Every structure is written in C-alpha cells, then in structure tokens.
Amino acid sequence: MRTKLLILGFSMFFSCLYAQNTYNSHAAITSRLKNLATKNNASGSVQSIGKSSGGKDIWLFTLSKGEAAKKPGVLVVAGADGKHPAGTEINLLLLEKLLSLPADSLSSVLSSKTLYFVPALNPDALEQVVNKIKYARSGNATSTDDDRDGQLNEDPFEDLNGDGLITQVRIEDPTGNYILNKKESRLLVKADPSKGEKGKYLLISEGVDNDNDGEFNEDGEGGVNIDQNFTFDYPIFEKGAGEYQASEPETRAILDFLYKSINIHTVLTFGLSNNLSEAPKFDRMKTNKRIVTGILEKDALIGDFVSKMYNSKTGLKDAPAMPQTKGNLTQTAYYHAGRFSFTTPGWWVPKVEEVKDSTKKEAPKPVVAKKEDSSPEADFLKWADKEKIDAFVNWTSIKHPGFEGKKAEVGGIAPYLMQNPPVKYLDSAAVKHQRFLAELLKAMPEVQIVNPKVESLQNGVSRVTVQVLNRGLLPTYAEMGDRVRFVYKVKTEVKLANGQSLISGKKTNYRGALDAGEVIEYSWLVNGKGKLTVEAGCPTAGIQTIELNIK
C-alpha cells in the first residue's frame, strides 16, 4: 500500500511540475511566441525557419526596429539537446523581459541592433517533458538503429513501477560492480578494488531487454541529438549523431539561417556546455595547421573579455566543468561560420556548504567536502533536500523479467531535474542573463566615419580624406571569420557624382576585422566639383554613410 501511495505521490508531483505553467509543450511555446508578436508587433515578429523531423515548426522570433537584416545581430538559441528544457525556458523568459522594458529603453537598443531568438531548436525531443512517460530525451523524431541490428526503435524504456518516470534498476548480484555511496546511501558508485571494495549491484536503466542482445533500452524512441549533428568535429558513428553531419532538418534550418544572415555578429547558446564561466585558452598547436581545432589568438582575448563580463554581470559562481561536446552548434558557429560563439547552461546546481554545529560564540565555519566524497549527483541531492524538492524516487522492489529470483529495485534521481530545476528558479537566471546580454550589446562594434576632410589643390583637383573607426569594445567580427571567409570584410567605398572622376586611390577598399578602437585612414584625389558619398562598414558592425561637398 505504501508503495502505491509513493508512486501516486510522485506522479502527482511531476504532473504539477510539468503541467502547470512550467516547462512547455511545443503548442504552448508556439502560443507564447505568437502572443508576444501580437502584443509587440512594432518591434517583434515570429516566423518558422523550418520543420523538425516530426513535423513541428522551428520558431524564430526577431526583435528589431526597421530593417532587421541591416543592423548587427545576436542570435540566441536554446533547446538543441532535448535534455535541456531549462535553456528553452531561459530563452523565452529573456525575450519576455526584453519586451517588457520601457519603450524608450527598448527602442534605444533596437535602433542599432537586431536580436534573433530560437527557443526550441529540437522541439521533438523537448516534447518529452509533457509526455505521459518522462525520460531525459536528447533525440528528435528520426527513427534510428542505434545498436546496428537492422531494427528501428525496438528496445525502448519501460515504466516498470508505473510512476510515469524512467529512472534506474539496481539488482543485487555478485557480478555487479556497484556499491552504495558511503556519503549518500541513495546513490550507487562503482566499486574500487584497489580500496578493497567488492561490487554488490548491477545498475541498468529502467526497462527490459526486448531484443535479447544483452543491452537494456539501447535502441528506443528519440533518434538524433541535434547538438551532435553539426559540422565541426562531427562524432561519426556515435549514437545520437545521425547518419551524417547536418543530416537532420533542424540542423540544416539553423545553419541555413546563420549562413544567410550575414549581419549576425555573435551566437549565444543556452545548452549543456559552458565557455562563458571560463574562456577557452589559446593553444598554438591547435591553430598552426590547415584544419584549426583551437580558438585563434585574438578571439581568445575576446573570449576572456566576454567571460569576465559574464561573471561580473550574472554573479554566477561555482560553475561545473562542462566542456564542449563534439558536433555541437556552438563550435560550428565559430569554426565553420566564423562568428563569435558563446554557450552556457544558464543555471546549475548552487553549491551547498555544510555547517558544523558549534557551541562557540564565533560564527561556524563551512565544512568543504573532500573531492572524492563528492559527485554531481550527491551535490544535487544535497541542494534538492535543502530546497525541499522531491527529486529522488525511493528504491522500491519489483519483479524484473530479466532477473528472475533476484532482488531488483527501481529508483534514482528523477529525469531532467539535475539540469532543469522547477521553473521558479529560472526567472532569476533570466534576469542575470538579461544584464549580461545588455552589456554584450553595448560592447558590440560600431563603425563610424570620423574626421572627414576636403582639401582643394589645383586644376579642379581635391584631396578627400576620412578615418574609419570601430567605436565598440569588440572587433567588427571574429578573427576566424577571415579564415573561413563566410563573414563580410570591412568595406570603405567612395561614390562619385556626375562630372567627377577618381585620379588616385581605390574606389572600393576591403580589409579584415577592425579591433576595438582601431582606426584606418583612406584618401582619394578627385577631379570635379559637387557632392560625393563615402560609405564604410560591414554587416556585422553596421554601415555608415556620409556626404561631402567639393567646392
């Protein structure tokens, strides 16, 4: 009876967690975006940039005043890996908070910048948070043969205890290599023979071996993880990566948009990697070769600058190590599309310090756990207990058809929660990232034509001189842009009027990225009188035009 009540309690908890204004279904995301566009039609619009494998629209929300494509842009993406609905929610909250700014504040930003939001790049996988049975699903609706046995999706998860959650099964078995965690008895850890530890449990995912190949749930629903399907460092033949790079419609939709939107200066991704809390370092061994696999030197300096900005404006600390994964969007946006590209999960489990009881008058000192006693799972449970979040399904006995006569129990940390807390915790995360985004927009490049001068010489000839300045704190585009040649160079062009001719100087001048505060001077000898125009800039930093009069 207690088991049934426990299952009912967890079912009710997760029904509340996922159904009542928390993580949204695709239909709810669609409604949310369209409502925002209707209420803010002067500055916002929503459109589909493609369909998912399962036929769901991939929505793009454009935030801009005037012609969006003619202003430097930032692309904010989330939901590439379906295991991370928190990124989608932060993306949506960030958009909503920007649209709730006072009209003059919003207009001042959008008059010179464009923001693009793609909250749910992998809508098929994200839909799992509202499905009847919940499990952490990364892949889209493409059917795959993950175990290469010629069958598709033939070994899915099974909800063996009927609570609507897919967790784990532990089986008492002398051949097992797991034991109870000494510091957190709810968890299992691998036995270490060098310490005299002997395994007691087998540990598998919740389900059965449907195809009798000795593996459990290795080929179920949920095909290609979009954040493994991009072109840079593509993980060929790995589970979830797809048959080939950019094989999925979701991948192609965002890449098509990125490559065609020549004004995008920076890509910000909310995902399961982090290069903002700590910037990647320059490594000459990775850059001094034909195929570059490390961040270029100038871009590494910018990454460090933006990282310091991020940590200062968000105030976030104690970020877990979340290295870049193979075939993800963030690295492809940098290494192949040549854009500045940053990624963060947006939220992670806050550090919880244990405090010793003390009868002394001085304040108790925090006790920091030894590294070997800690684990991400144990740290998460400590935080969840402190916040009174029912994050763990207690181990309950079942009869497992694959382990007749052995004690089997279902339990473990509930799916999603380690990276995706109840959404009430994400509003403050969105506020912090709004501060960061505002500072990033202030730092973006701004090309200006300064100190124009016209000097009359003789015989109707005049010298025209201008200086082209990047007034921003970031370069006009990433150094990698010049390597991959998918980013437009800085162009300075003189446009003559009727009756004028160019005697000296190139009519059109191209050069690589202008660093922050960098100035370059151009001069022309022009024959004839009247007005001429000088235009300078590039799509990722803006274009300015001035008119000069030759008398």
Q: Give the residue from 151, 204, 198, 208 showing the smallest Cα distance to 177.
A: 198
SS3 at position 10: helix
Q: How far is CA 17 from the centre of its chain?
A: 23
Residue 453 contacts residue 475 (beta carbons within 8 Å): no
Domain boundaries, the chain: 24-130+222-348+421-443, 168-218+351-413, 447-550
Indicate the pTM of the whole model.
0.90
> Taking 80 as the threshold, does the pLDDT of residue 403 lie above it?
yes
447-550 has CATH 2.60.40.10 classification: yes
Q: Do domains 24-130+222-348+421-443 and 447-550 have the same CATH topology?
A: no
Least confident of 100-104, 194-198, 199-203, 419-423: 100-104
Structure tokens at 212: 């009798």
Beta-sheet pairing, 461-470 with 519-527: antiparallel
pLDDT band at 148 (very low <50, low <70, confident <90, very high): low
CATH class of 24-130+222-348+421-443: alpha beta
Give per-residue pLDDT as tens, 518-528.
Answer: 999 999 999 99
Distance CA 46, CA 33 (A): 7
Structure tokens at 430: 């969105």
Give per-residue pLDDT as tens, 471-520.
Answer: 999 999 999 999 998 899 999 999 999 999 999 999 999 999 999 999 99
Give per-residue pLDDT as tens, 189-234.
Answer: 999 999 999 999 999 888 887 655 566 555 556 689 999 999 999 9
